[in-house]
Amino acid sequence: METTEVHLNPVQNDKVRVAFHTLGCKLNFSETAQIAQEFSEEHYQRVNFDDLADVYVINTCSVTENADKRFKSLVSKILKKNSDAFVAAIGCYAQLQPEALASVEGVDLVLGASEKFNLTQYLEDLTKRSSSEIHSCEIDEVTDYKSSYSYGYRTRAFLKVQDGCDYKCSYCTIPLARGISRSDTLERVIEKANDIASKSIQEIVLTGVNIGDFGKGEYGLKQHKNTFLDLIQGLDDVIGIERIRISSIEPNLLKNEVIEFVAKSKRFVPHFHVPLQSGSDSVLKKMRRRYLSPLYEDRIKHIKKHMPNACIGVDVIVGFPGETEEDFLTTYRFLSDLDISYLHVFTYSERPNTEAINFDGVVPMEIRNKRSKLLRGLSLKKRHAFYTSQLGSVQTVLWEGENKNGYIHGFTSNYVKMRKVWNPNLVNTLQEVKLISIDSEGFAREG
């Protein structure tokens, strides 16, 4: 679970103090930033979430059970700090389960997928409520598109290019939370990228729900105006941005021509995150994924053919209903044999209103946890092997802006994480370094 904190100016007492916290994905972060911009400086003062505020806004996530628990913990923390604080819940979980959030003691306002972008209109009266107000439309009515991007101490900007999803994976609630696939216009994305470049930000991360579907349903229209390839070709010519990184992209949408363009581009880095979810074709079919393992393997090989030093991350779910021991071992062997760099391992979590919640073959939680632990161990081995393969090479590192226990951290273009003794002069700079070792905590070190 990522969080982004931004150091803010001292509170001005004549203004309403408002604090934001984001649960979940990079897309949520970009939207939180957009929503925060609607709070005029004339009437509101942004403060850090850990500071005393009059209004607390939590942008929620629905992907895992832990996100639900985290929300309740945050509300409890707020009330201990300020029992009179006005608490608003927005985001995916607010759209999917508004009554559940409204039932949490201390929550005053719950806004759904469209309403969250009009948050300030619901804050004229900040009196604590005896019961929560809920404003949430039917998800089928959510067809418009809202542009957004965010940036903070990470020296990277998360640029939203697409929202919603037309896929019907049997375990996923995102289409129910965000609606149909729709995206920004190419011209608007490039305009936003130029705006980001004007702020001296070095790297853009493209984000969305299903970014490979870019071009579909722009502003509610039903035709494709541009493709994902058009998008990256257009962004490659933006002046002032050194690096552009593609976030998670579906393997069936990661076309060979996209891979080949990234390999020779000026700004796109050799780093891909390609969800797999299972190496077992029978499980993939139950998940209603739009590919099978041979296509996935072909995509990975094509990346490595054109970019031998590319970093490749993989999402995988363990414990899906009906996943047998043999299915899991098939997944393990498949991942072990693939030339990938790290895994994001998710333990299957039953979500209301999904098809999979009614599937037979429920996997006991202790087995889910065991399988998760095995794959996390494999991920450590894969990451170490990838880092080791990069030793001796000269790489460009973008140093980030947070002091973590006396260290500054940064990433190479191909996503090798490095650290060195804190030096504020390095923040938001690109530096060529030679990788010579891996320290005891798994960070690459320079020569």
Give the model confidence (pLDDT) of 21-74 as tens digits. 998 888 888 999 889 988 887 789 999 999 999 999 999 987 666 767 888 899
Average pLDDT of the chain is 91
Across the range 270-288, mean pLDDT stands at 98
Residue type, 354: T
The answer to whether 331 and 280 are in contact (CB under 8 A) is yes
Tokens of 349: 């979590």
Residue at token pair 């400086």: 41
Does domain 16-137 match CATH 3.90.1150.10? no
Give the model confidence (pLDDT) of 202-248 as tens digits. 999 999 999 999 988 755 556 667 899 999 999 999 999 999 999 99
Percentage of the chain modeled with pLDDT above 70: 94
> For residue 117, which of 148, 156, 93 has the smallest C-alpha distance?
148
Residue at token pair 């880095």: 269
Where residue 154 falls among pLDDT bands split at 50, 70, 90? low
Predicted structure pTM score:
0.89
Give the right CATH number for 273-389 from 3.30.750.200, 2.160.10.10, 3.40.640.10, 3.50.50.60: 3.30.750.200
More confident residue, 224 or 194: 194
More confident residue, 93 or 232: 232
Helix or strand or coil: residue 355?
Answer: helix
pLDDT at residue 28 in the model:
87
Per-residue H/E/C for 276-323: CECCCHHHHHHHCCCCCHHHHHHHHHHHHHHCCCCEEEEEEEECCCCC
Phi, psi of 434, deg, nearest 5: -105, 125
The answer to whether 379 and 343 are in contact (CB under 8 A) is yes
The full DSSP string for 186-250 is HHHHHHHHHHHHTTT--EEEEE-SSGGGTTTTGGG-SS-S--HHHHHHHHTT-TT--EEEE----
Measured distance CA(268)–CA(425) in Å, rounded: 26
CATH architecture designation of domain 140-269:
2-Layer Sandwich (3.30)
Residue 6 clears pLDDT 50, i.e. is over it: no
Measured distance CA(298)–CA(252) in Å, rounded: 10
